[in-house]
Structure 1
């Protein structure tokens, strides 16, 4: 007596091409927005040498907007991806599993697409809470897999173009074979998915879109929670900066005419006040009032040429952003400060006392805290 393993059967009526297409086009929009804003974020955070001096410092809220959209669209894509996988997962059990070389390549491309999408969305979600349970560096791997995901998605769309075209709208030709009674169930499913997307968006986007901060229930940051009313990602303790390391602090500026300033001498220079947002790659942001010395004034005192860039070094003992390079556009912007005060108060140690950089349209990781040295490039 021989045992034959029959493939599982699925009785759900919504595991069909029309439902998959309806959810897929919404997912494609979310992924496209997330990808484009993510690429912009990557090059603002890690610009190639030829681009570093040309990055724009305006609008001042530019990075806040694009990074907020990046994180929001990535989170919104998670329920869409899960719904999409639910509609198509019976196809994973087709028999025989491979019918031809073309079919094998198609299934391989789908496997790459699904794996890349799951990795991108869930690793990005873990990044928002700063939890990295993997041995590799998040930023370069996340950036590389983003291109892999987009390539696999374009290939998938090209292969499935006839089916997508046939089921794009309710009146598309080739859809008459679908039972009419499935319509209400399909609409209910799409409504539920839309509600899920709306729920996760409304309860997380308040960390950057402050008018909705009262609904900020699921986001890892609240824009009002933190020392001096501003959140902190990297504390002084995490950076190895203590109160004992600050006494005797001096700002050393190196250039054609190098000099050094004590904190009192820095405070005696002309002070400027600006209102700028600090926006972090994890998706949270908030505007604050910053007071300090214009970076361009410090560069001029060091004899820097008009087109010179700047390198800033922090007191922190370790960290990927202990040293930061700033292009000439940012360095010369009148809103770029070596800040000494936040919201009218002396900077707390966690916010970068005795001095930190604040510049318009810059990722938070490049707003260097605990500045000890500046070098004209």
Structure 2
């Protein structure tokens, strides 16, 4: 059976504020949110998966750098969700314009908008689910999220270029001048924009506390509260998930491979000079928390094994499987005095879930690269 629209006048929408001025006003907020989210996400991706030429160039300072940028990434992405939905509300009547395609150029423009909307919705909502560590899809999240981010930004720049004359005319929200827009809509538009701003503020303030400690008390809807966890710190990947047990750690020794390879027992590690640093764990899901870590400087271990001040290090975990079981650390990280092979957390011996008997803690680094259950260091 075929369904056809009955003949009649074209579909019209009587609701107000579905106009270019309102859409542009929301776009003034949505564009910067997308730009911040894209830039910080790009940085996060290259910190986690640096190209070979950049390994020794990635900076280890400021120590809180990744905590700030990843917090901004997640906060701007969450804030962009109500902004995008509001933007779509203002323009959706254009979906019903007849005829749907007036020319080849108009058809290409509509196709580019469809790509922009689809990719943006995909990017924001899969990113939101990632903060909950829920992946109800068969594809690799990291690779797909990274690729679609480029599609979003490319189609957004194309859309701005095509629509720039109209955007320019409506950008200031002042008197429309020669533009034939009803001035009576001004008060309603301001109320709408105020409501949208309130919604963005509400979702931001009630989730950003997972990375901004002073706002932790109103962290009502974030997926993680950094104030709760084993030894005062949350755990993303447990020992059970990594298949690491107390029995498998029986007789543990740290192997340091280099020009002068050595093997160190727990007692020998504790006999080396111990250093205490305060550094945050900052995870890609957006949460972060500072803690006191005590252990041996990685650069001291590399020196004992015959490494030089320009040495890199490869860290190998005892976990049986995992995307980050083997981690490479560039020279600036490996030689930073804040980078430790940590043995204690907040004055206590590391718990099994936090990487007992030893783990890496380094400044300005994603949490997935703070390798737990370290079994071997390799001087590079």
TM-score by length of 2: 0.97
Is residue 2:162 matched to residue 1:162? no
Deviations 1:5-36, CA, capped at 9 Å, x for gaps: 76532111110000000001110010001111
For residues 311 and 372 of structure 1, what CA distance do their matches in structure 2 show? 11
Q: Secondary structure at the match of 1:238?
A: helix
Q: Secondary structure at the match of 2:353?
A: helix
Partners of 1:165 and 1:172 within 8 A in 2: no
For residues 176 and 222 of structure 2, what CA distance do their matches in structure 1 show? 43
CA separation of 1:240/1:103 partners in 2, compared to 1, >3 Å: closer, same or farther?
same
Tell me what 2:290 maps to.
287
Partners of 2:25 and 2:173 within 8 A in 1: no
For residues 171 and 205 of structure 1, what CA distance do their matches in structure 2 show? 33
Offset, 1:3: 4.0
Partners of 1:336 and 1:360 within 8 A in 2: yes
2:340 to 315, 319, 337: 337
For residues 171 and 318 of structure 1, what CA distance do their matches in structure 2 show? 59
Partners of 1:167 and 1:174 within 8 A in 2: no
Is residue 2:301 matched to residue 1:301? no
CA separation of 1:235/1:7 partners in 2, compared to 1, >3 Å: closer, same or farther?
farther
Q: How does 1:22-171 map to 2 (within 5 A)?
A: 22-171=25-174
Tell me what 1:202 maps to.
205
Q: How does 1:271-282 map to 2 (within 5 A)?
A: 271-282=274-285
What stretches of structure 1 of length at least 5 have no aligned partner? none
Deviations 1:237-295, CA, capped at 9 Å, x for gaps: 11111111111111111111111111111111111000011100000001100000000
Offset, 1:176: 4.2
Q: How many residues align?
A: 376
Tell me what 2:250 maps to.
247
For residues 138 and 5 of structure 1, what CA distance do their matches in structure 2 show? 47
2:262 to 259, 264, 269: 259
Is residue 2:248 matched to residue 1:238? no
Offset, 1:305: 2.1
Partners of 1:330 and 1:359 within 8 A in 2: yes
Tell me what 1:184 maps to.
187
Deviations 1:175-202, CA, capped at 9 Å, x for gaps: 6421122111111110111001000000
CA separation of 1:84/1:260 partners in 2, compared to 1, >3 Å: closer, same or farther?
same
Tell me what 1:355 maps to.
358
